[in-house]
Chain A
Amino acid sequence: MFASFMINAWVVATIVAVIAGAVGFFVVLRGSAFPAHAIPNGAFAGAAGASLLGVNTLAGLGVFAVLAAVGIGVLGRRGRNDVVTALALVVMLALGAVFLSQTTQYEPEIFSLLFGEVLGVASNEILPVAVLGVVCIAAVLVLYRPLILSSVVPDIGESKGVSSQRMETAFLVVVALATAMTVPVVGALLIFSLMIGPPAAARSFTNRPSVAMVLSIAIALITVWTAIALSFVTNWPIGFFVGALCALSYGVGRAWATGRRARAPRLETVTTGLVQA
């Protein structure tokens, strides 16, 4: 399991889990599960386009992911956010279908782009992932305060000069960056599960943002490591284990939250709720 050809997989998966846990905290806080699903799928189309034109895959991924993010951010200002996201998603996928229809060399790679090929990571893929990872974490740290403010109490944020529209676009671009580098390694579908499951579980355990973020990263790490180990032993696709473990952690988190609510006396929850508000 820790043979030399597996080392790259462990390193990359660890980086990916840290980023997904950190960015995912905001995805859950803002309830942006749909954009977090749409942007990686858009990036997938970018990879197909890049392969058709013979350009660097990472460039195609990045351009399409950022385009999708900005498109959702800009169009979402006037229209219904979920409608715009759905339309952006289908336009991206349709473009991907065109690219794929014009090339014949690409088919075997599709499965790995969607479901991940974490066990076949090459050494030269680590550096770009690490660099973009640092950029993402830096962006999360810079945006941390204003983003929390505009996610939780948008009105107060606006009054303090934090434009929620600009925050939305900035946040989506961070998701796009996190997506662009991770899609070729872990697949469009796996990164989505990681951005949703662990942070949602973490939020059930604690209300404090910083603790929740650290907890979210920790759960994401445990999920990915367990998934790699199980995938190595059973030879089943890693995406299955990640999806199942993320759903499991969410279920445990929900059960915990329900149990805590049942244990605590009614009045106390009401007053703490008032104090926090």
Chain B
Amino acid sequence: MRWLFESGFFASHPVHVACLVGSIVAVVSGVVGVFTVMRGQSFAGHSLADVATAGGSGAFLVGISPLFGFVAGGVVGAGAMEAIGVRRARGRDLATGIVLGASIGLAALFLYLSTTESSTTGASQQILFGSIFSTVSSTVPVVAIFSVLCLGIMALVYRPLLLSSVSTDMAAARGVPVRVVALLYMVALALAVGLSSLAIGAILSTALLIGPAAIALRLTKRIGWAMMAASLSGVVAVLAGVLLAYDSYYWSPSHASWPVSFFIVVIVFLGYLATELPFVSTAVTRQRRPATSDASEAHR
């Protein structure tokens, strides 16, 4: 096994933290992401990472913990997107885009104001790409607490959310408070995305939210199974990505490691492409039941 696990992999502290934080984020993203993909809200899921970043850079500027900036920015952004909220998917993406554009502008301003006062080179790169290896172990408990909070909200709204994701009209007719459920879901999404973009960077945040969930929904149409499959494939992608990134240090004589995010994204993307293969999709169609297959078709 030496060729696979380079020396010191199991003893390295950053590797432990990266694997732990990455796995927590992958599980939460998998659970939340299944609904994100089903509801066609990938754009919102991605945008919230950037919106949270604006909050984080604002917090950095005024000198409070960026963590609260990330969480607050994400929740406020989610509220704004939901408040403008248009029922039709086209209008909704537009509202998301406007919130995204405005908050990126704010991030630019905050970064500019903080970099003129204290020179922080590479701040924009750090915020955009992040690095799972630079996660400090003190953030682990905070990430865990917010993850539990996020999963708690998901458990609370699971049933009505599922109903209103399949058919908003039917849910409304049955007395589900559709707007409240949607808002609670957006808050859960903001928590998941804000935390993951703080812990592992905006790229991985989107990749782990959308990729594993899209793969899982290709494999099964049962929501519970899909959530488990998404979480599991997310964790596998994270662990394999961390391993490859650790090994990549030894690949070239110059010892320039490749970024973890690259490996995780490539693994997730290859997984998604694999579900496009003919025999995978036919196997799924055969086991698909008419009643449950509506779940994903309804929101195309």
Distance A155 CA – B265 CA, assembled complex (angstroms): 36
* Contact of B96 (CB < 8 Å), options: A33, A97, A246: A33
Distance A237 CA – B42 CA, assembled complex (angstroms): 29
Distance A116 CA – B12 CA, assembled complex (angstroms): 40
Encode contact with B along A71-100: 1 for CB under 8 Å, 0 otherwise: 000000011101101110111011111101
Contact A79 B214 (CB under 8 A): yes
Contact A33 B272 (CB under 8 A): no
Chain A residue with Cβ nearest B93? A33
Contact B46 A86 (CB under 8 A): yes
By secondary structure, the B interface counts as helix
Contact B272 A246 (CB under 8 A): no
List chain A residues, Cβ under 8 A from B46. Answer: 34, 37, 86, 89
Contact B124 A189 (CB under 8 A): no
Contact A83 B37 (CB under 8 A): yes
List chain B residues, Cβ under 8 A from A192. Answer: 97, 100-101, 104
| A89, A100, A243, most chain B CB atoms within 10 A | A243
- Asked if A276 is at the interface (CB within 8 A of a chain B CB), the reply is no
Size category of the binding interface on chain A? 35 or more
Q: Provided the pairs A34-B42, A79-B214, A243-B102 are in contact, do residues A94 and B206 lie with their beta carbons within 8 angstroms?
A: no
List chain B residues, Cβ under 8 A from A111. Answer: 111, 124
Contact A78 B129 (CB under 8 A): no
List chain B residues, Cβ under 8 A from A28. Answer: 94
Which among A157-165, A176-184, A193-201, A213-221 touches the partner chain?
A: A193-201
Distance A162 CA – B256 CA, assembled complex (angstroms): 50
Interface residues of B in 223-281 (CB under 8 A from A): 256-259, 261-262, 264-266, 268-269, 272, 276
List chain A residues, Cβ under 8 A from B125. Answer: 100, 107, 110
- Asked if B40 is at the interface (CB within 8 A of a chain A CB), the reply is yes
Contact B266 A30 (CB under 8 A): no
Encode contact with B along A240-277: 1 for CB under 8 Å, 0 otherwise: 11111011001000100000000000000000000000
Contact B121 A31 (CB under 8 A): no
Distance A159 CA – B226 CA, assembled complex (angstroms): 38
| B108, B129, B259, most chain A CB atoms within 10 A | B108
- Asked if A174 is at the interface (CB within 8 A of a chain B CB), the reply is no
Size category of the binding interface on chain B? 35 or more
Distance A97 CA – B89 CA, assembled complex (angstroms): 31
- Asked if A16 is at the interface (CB within 8 A of a chain B CB), the reply is no
Chain B residue with Cβ nearest A195? B97
- Asked if B178 is at the interface (CB within 8 A of a chain A CB), the reply is no
Given contacts A34-B43, A107-B125, 13 further A-B contacts (CB under 8 A): A31-B94, A33-B93, A36-B97, A37-B97, A82-B43, A83-B214, A85-B43, A86-B46, A87-B211, A91-B266, A101-B256, A110-B122, A111-B111
10 contacts between A and B (CB under 8 A): A33-B43, A34-B97, A80-B300, A90-B204, A193-B101, A196-B97, A239-B105, A240-B105, A241-B105, A244-B102
Q: Which residues of B contact A (CB under 8 A)?
A: 37, 40-43, 45-47, 84, 89-91, 93-94, 96-106, 108-109, 111-113, 121-122, 124-125, 128-129, 202-204, 206-207, 210-211, 214, 256-259, 261-262, 264-266, 268-269, 272, 276, 300
6 interchain residue pairs of minimum CB distance: A243-B105, A31-B90, A193-B101, A33-B97, A94-B265, A247-B102
